[in-house]
Amino acid sequence: MRNIESVTYNGEKIILLDQTKLPLEEVYLEIDSVKDVWDAIVQLKVRGAPAIGIAAAYGVALGASQLKEEDYESFVAKYEEISQYLASSRPTAVNLFWALNRMKNTLVANKEQPVVEIKQILWNEADAIKKDDAEICKSIGEHGLTLLKDGMTLLTHCNAGGIATAKYGTALAPIYLAKEKNMDIRVFADETRPLLQGARLTTWELMQADIDVTLITDSMAAMVMQQGKVDAVIVGCDRIAANGDTANKIGTYGLAVLAQKHNIPFYVASPLSTIDLETETGADIPIEERSDEEITCGFGKQTAPNSVKVFNPAFDVTPNDLITAIITEKGIIRAPYTESLKNLF
């Protein structure tokens, strides 16, 4: 499998795979300002909850390295401004806040060190977050692989693959590991309106790995399930509440309803960093609403009348009773999620 790194640091600049250019161009951005990191997250140049967290970790380390303050208290005050600014980039993906909190804890734990050394420690911690994510994704894949059988066809939504993480992905991790074991696993990829992350990204990276993938529009999922062409649905997520309600890319909830109707297992793949026990239910998860133009003028072509009213939530919430199981790096858990999620920690 080709290892495509969506976020990395070369010792001078943060390097991001610009996912808005895929599938036609593989472009890497060289970023040397916190504002450019913020813009990349908002504009979906980097996307996927784990990758957003990694980018934010590198971004706050970058900002800290550029600070002139030499005493700890002044340095921390400026650092907090950078962290809060990056935290404002996307409200739904909890990995963003998890990564920034981990970086802050590292800062506090090393308060006795000279500021110049703290700056390097923060870079090291960002590297560790990325390394840990790669290992976590592989563990998710190994557990998820136990749910698969040779010859199965899976349906996935949006992109929860290697380019959304450090490596392997979450929902796609079992598929990649199956490929390494020469298992025959086929995939239906929803195009994922309105920004087509399934069409542009999931199909691209699965084809890079020589995995059998078929693209369908979101509205075709019901029919392929009805025809018996889908053995299981597997998706990633951006936040899981304490009761198991799960926020993921808009359209995921509908897939879960369809899967239940057709007696198809519906799996959510998630690292522990995406589980938010402080959020009681899905009703408490903030849902990002994005610009009208993503729907009315997607990819430079106007497809709706001028001044039409638009509702454009980027995510929806799948209730826990529609989720067959949640696949984590610590294993596969099932309902009741209020207990099983708590036990993971």
- List pLDDT tens digits, range 113-135: 999 999 999 999 999 999 999 99
Q: In whole angstroms, give the CA distance from residue 4 to residue 1.
A: 9
Mean pLDDT of 199-212: 96
Higher pLDDT: 300 or 271? It is 271
Helix (H) or strand (E) holding 169: none
Cβ distance 327 to 274 under 8 Å? no
> How would residue 151 be classed by pLDDT, with cut points 50, 70 and 90?
very high
> How would residue 330 be classed by pLDDT, with cut points 50, 70 and 90?
very high
**Res. 92: pLDDT tops 90:** no
**Res. 74: pLDDT tops 80:** yes
> Which pLDDT score, from 0 to 100, does residue 183 have?
97
In 3-state terms, the chain is what percent helix, strand and coil (to 5)? 45, 15, 40
pTM above 0.95, yes or no: no
From residue 201, give the alpha-carbon distance in Å to each of 35, 95, 192, 315: 25, 20, 10, 18
Cβ distance 185 to 148 under 8 Å? yes
Q: What are the b/e assignments for 277-296, b being 16+ CB within 10 Å?
A: eebeebeebebbebeeebbb
**Res. 1: pLDDT tops 80:** no
Phi, psi of 266 (to 5 degrees): -120, 110
Per-residue pLDDT reduced to its tens digit, 246-289: 999 999 999 999 999 999 999 999 999 999 999 999 999 999 99
Mean pLDDT of 161-185: 96
Q: In whole angstroms, give the CA distance from residue 342 to residue 91.
A: 23
For the chain, the distance separating the N- and C-terminal CA atoms, rounded to the nearest angstrom, is 32
Two structure tokens written together for 235: 């998706």
Two structure tokens written together for 189: 């990829």
Two structure tokens written together for 326: 């949640």
Per-residue pLDDT reduced to its tens digit, 18-70: 999 999 999 999 999 999 999 999 999 999 889 999 999 999 999 999 999 99
* Residue 180 CB-density burial (10 A; 0-12 exposed, 13-18 middle, 19+ buried): exposed
> Which pLDDT score, from 0 to 100, does residue 86 have?
97
DSSP H helices, the chain, are 34-42, 49-65, 72-87, 94-109, 115-145, 173-180, 197, 203-208, 221-226, 252-261, 293-296, 337-344
> Which pLDDT score, from 0 to 100, does residue 4 have?
84
> How would residue 2 be classed by pLDDT, with cut points 50, 70 and 90?
low
Q: Which residues are catalytic?
A: 238
| Total H helices, total E strands in the chain | 12, 14
Taking the mean position of all CA atoms in its chain, how far away is CA 57? 15
**Res. 17: pLDDT tops 90:** yes
> Which pLDDT score, from 0 to 100, does residue 303 have?
95
* Residue 117 CB-density burial (10 A; 0-12 exposed, 13-18 middle, 19+ buried): exposed
